[in-house]
Amino acid sequence: MFALPGHAEEWGCYDPQPGHPTEAEKKRFISEISPLAVMAERTHGVPAAVISAMAIAESGYGWTRTALEAHNLFGWKFYSSSSASGRNYYVLSCQPAEDKNNKYVKFSDTADAIDFVAGKLATLPAYLSDTRKYLQARQSGKSVADASKDWINADRKAA
């Protein structure tokens, strides 16, 4: 845990910055990412609701260290420049030693992060068939909510 200069509050390594997000900041974040998630769904087929929920949960509405310093809203780890499509990395120096790999992909902005992660979720073997099933379900008239729940609840096996 880290204390902010001039603040008695401690800032846990993965937590949102103390005092954030406010209700106004939550609304702003949702307003910012919603159209980006819809665009990512149109481009990659991953449910916009899922992308939005992941960004909210993983980044504390944009207030975690990785979100603030690397525009990384998803806790997406860096393994190589190739796997990050040429992007650099941010080192989360407070990360405990037992949590291996303290490098996270550094994105140019929020749109870059959402598009990259949606593209990965659409093509990685563990998600590919579920993304296709989501698109088929939507085309056959299944509601966004039900099709998104099916995508979330899919039984994925790591490839």
Task: Give the domain CATH number at 24.
Answer: 1.10.530.10
pLDDT tens digits, one per residue of 15-66: 999 999 999 999 999 999 999 999 999 999 999 999 999 999 999 999 999 9
pLDDT tens digits, one per residue of 65-86: 999 999 999 999 999 999 999 9
- Whether residue 10 lies inside any domain: the answer is no
Confidence of residue 7 (pLDDT cuts 50, 70, 90): very low
Q: Is the peptide bond before 125 cis (omega within 30 degrees of 0)?
A: no
**pTM for the model:** 0.89
**Segments forming the whole domain that contains residue 29:** 20-148
Q: How many domains does the chain have?
A: 1
Rounded to whole angstroms, the Cα distance separating 37 from 62 reads 15
